[in-house]
Amino acid sequence: MGIRNVEELQDMHLDVLKEIGNIGSGNAASALSTMLNCETDISVPNVKLLDFSDAVNFLGGPENIAIGMLVNLTEDINGMMLYVLQHSCASQMTSAIFGSEIEDLANMNEMERSFIAEVGNIMSASYINAIASLTGLTIDISVPQMCVDMVGAILSVPAVQFAQVGNKVLFIDDSFVIGGCEVKSNMILVPEMSSLEFLFNRLGVGI
Amino acid sequence: MGMITVGIADLNIAKEPDVLATYALGSCVGICLYDPEKKIAGLAHIMLPLSKDAVNGGADNRRRYADTGITELIQTMSLAGATPSRLVAKIAGGAQMFNTTSSVFNIGERNVAAVKKILAAYKIRIIAEETGENFGRTVFFHPDSGIMEVRSATKPIIKV
């Protein structure tokens, strides 16, 4: 008995995703801390199913300008993962490493862009590694694609992908402490339903 | 003047002096239909091309697809007093937000193509178009003047 809709997931499944998120965030925090050369802590991430519009509002409203980084997942798990980083958080990171904030998010310089792309790379890879090592599955990820634009427009990409299976997105809400300042970052996971089923079966919480 | 906001996979209509708005179109397409004589306007924010290609035939939400969404918009507008044969269209959106070659990401282009096909089937002329490229757009439509206003993150405001 498979599921066709992400809304059919139960608390148990969300708890499993939360644990994966937790391990992923832990990996990400230690990688970031090495990269930024300062202490980085992370709290337990919040994993929830949000309506598309709630997710957009959570990220500052449809016209809020943010950074989106998208990777495609292939092999045992098919789907996509979107990492959303807000201006203030990106600035906190560039301050830690270059000593300056990002003035204009939509017109980042080459150095800022490649640094932020690397952060996105680390974050996505950390999560995927957590899932892969917990399940023993092989997951290939594409090179992350970056887009700085309105949050609503960025989120429409996973929303369109998800439209066939439900109106909700899997939303991982992370909170980091970098050099004493709290920064938030968000990961949106959009697996195909069959992949999600496969994932839960592997983890012994079959749907 | 009231602002009538149209959410994703939704539609609404307005008469002057109200204004229709839909925020942050990415690969989605905003379709503004307008009866210039009655000054009645409608706006649909569609996500996907054709309902027949959906797993469940699009029965879940007709407003999500170009074909069923446009059909419902025309019906709603005629009920409000607009004459279908007089309608003209202005469309915006259908961007490719992320730069990849995968067909999933090409959904913007497919959405625009589907919208044009459906509008042509209804013999509705497209008199303005701000589609494609790689950035998000917010659309306002003014039923008093028939002007579509398009805002984006980095480009100047366009009024067509």
Domain boundaries A6-200, corresponding CATH code: 3.40.1550.10
Range name among A61-70, B73-82, B97-106 with the lowest pLDDT average: B97-106
Cα(A31)–Cα(A40) distance, integer angstroms: 9
Strands, E, within chain B: which ranges?
3-5, 10-15, 19-25, 29-35, 40-46, 88-93, 125-131, 137-142, 147-151, 158-159
Sign of CA dihedral B43, B45, B49, B55: negative
Residue B48 sits in which domain range?
3-159
- Do the strands B10-15 and B40-46 form a parallel or antiparallel pair, or are they unpaired? antiparallel
What's the pLDDT score for residue A1?
Answer: 44
Six-digit token pair at B82? 């607009």
Query: Does the active-site annotation cover B28?
Result: yes
With CA atoms as reference, the chain B residue closest to A68 would be B98
Where do we find the tokens 């282009």? B109
Q: Find chain B residues with C-beta within 8 A of A80's C-beta.
A: 104
As to burial, measured by CB atoms within 10 angstroms (0-12 exposed, 13-18 middle, 19+ buried), residue A166 is: buried
Under DSSP, the state recorded for B48 is B
Catalytic residue, from B28, B32, B41, B77: name it: B28
- Chain B contact for A3, CB < 8 A? no
List all residues of chain B from 4 to 63 with a beta carbon under 8 Å from chain A: 7-9, 23-28, 47-48, 54-55
**Domain total for chain B?**
1
Residue B113 scores a pLDDT above 90:
yes
Q: Band of the pLDDT at A187, cuts 50, 70, 90?
A: confident
- Chain B contact for A74, CB < 8 A? no
Test the A interface: residue of B29, B98, B135 with most A CBs within 10 Å: B98
Give the residue among B98, B133, B117, B108 at the shortest CA–CA distance from B46.
B108
Cα(A84)–Cα(B133) distance, integer angstroms: 21
ipTM of the complex: 0.89
* Type and span of the H or E element at A80: strand A79-85
Report CB contact under 8 Å: B8, A156.
yes
Q: Find chain B residues with C-beta within 8 A of A188's C-beta.
A: none
How much is the average pLDDT of B35-59? 88
Q: Give per-residue pLDDT as tens, A41-64.
A: 777 778 888 888 888 999 999 999
Domain definitions of chain A by residue range = 6-200
Test the B interface: residue of A157, A162, A168, A169 with most B CBs within 10 Å: A157
Closest-CA distance, A192 to chain B, in angstroms, reads 13
